[in-house]
Amino acid sequence: MSLLEINNIEKSFGDLQVLKDISLSIDQTEVISILGPSGSGKSTLLRCMAMLETIDGGDMSYCEEKAVTSVSGLPVYASKTQIKKIRGYFGLVFQNFNLFPHYSVIKNITDAPIHVQKRSKNEVYKEARVLLKKMGLDDKENYYPYQLSGGQQQRVAIARALAMKPKMLFFDEPTSALDPELTGEILKVLRSLADEKMTMIIVTHEIDFARSVSDRVIFMDGGIIVEEGSPKEVIDNPKNERTKAFLKKMSFNS
């Protein structure tokens, strides 16, 4: 089943067209990595899919429910009630964690399930503690974000997203704010989620990770999808010159 389908997405900021006619379908349990140089449009695409940015053209469906419909070439968003429901289908993990600094770890994780989803406090706390254990943070529930390392904060952010029971998770460069040692911690968590068949869309510059964990790799440049396929096709045997140049540069830099 297709969890997310986008067709002919367009997005501009002023005179700069950042996304040009992007179409993509994401199936249940798929792990998709989006690669590309800075300014290629990959983070903007993720933000449009997560409805943090509005699109200028095209349409989007989540779990076969229309979020945006193209009417006479213009995007029309669903009702507020419908959009709120659709937002519940996905979780988003930011590169800078975005935890509430004045909330403890456990409150960061439990606040939205209790107040937004109106779920039982006891049930939510119980599930939050299971998630903390899974993240290797079961001794940190009463800590505050400033008392944690970057890698620990990112694991709390992942637990917070999972606490909402989404059908898929979006990750916007989840390791870019971390040093190499802490990056390994997060990639290990993402790998375990992939093993559990969590649907994930990951904007990343970690080529080896994308190769090992992805079902599909998308390479973007200049606001378009230049190349798309299995890691073997896109990373190991790229056909497009732009993809080849990017991967060569990345391997040289690493």
Label residues 79-109 b or e (16+ Cβ within 10 Å = b). eeeeeeebbebbbbbbbebebeeeebbbebb
pLDDT score of 252? 63
Strands 199-203 and 168-172, bridge-based pairing:
parallel
Q: pTM of the predicted model, to two decimals?
A: 0.92
Q: Per-residue pLDDT for 180 more than 90? A: no
Query: Which residue type sits at 105?
Result: V
How confident is residue 216, by pLDDT bands cut at 50, 70 and 90?
Answer: very high
- Quick one: average pLDDT of 181-203? 91
The DSSP letter of residue 196 is T
Q: Per-residue pLDDT for 131 more than 90? A: yes
Helix ranges (H only) for the chain are: 42-49, 80-87, 105-115, 121-134, 150-163, 180-195, 207-213, 231, 241-253
Q: Per-residue pLDDT for 73 more than 90? A: no
pLDDT score of 253? 58
Helix ranges (H only) for 60-179 are: 80-87, 105-115, 121-134, 150-163
Q: Per-residue pLDDT for 140 more than 90? A: yes
- Quick one: average pLDDT of 111-128? 95
Q: Give dist(CA 33, CA 241) in Å, integer.
A: 19
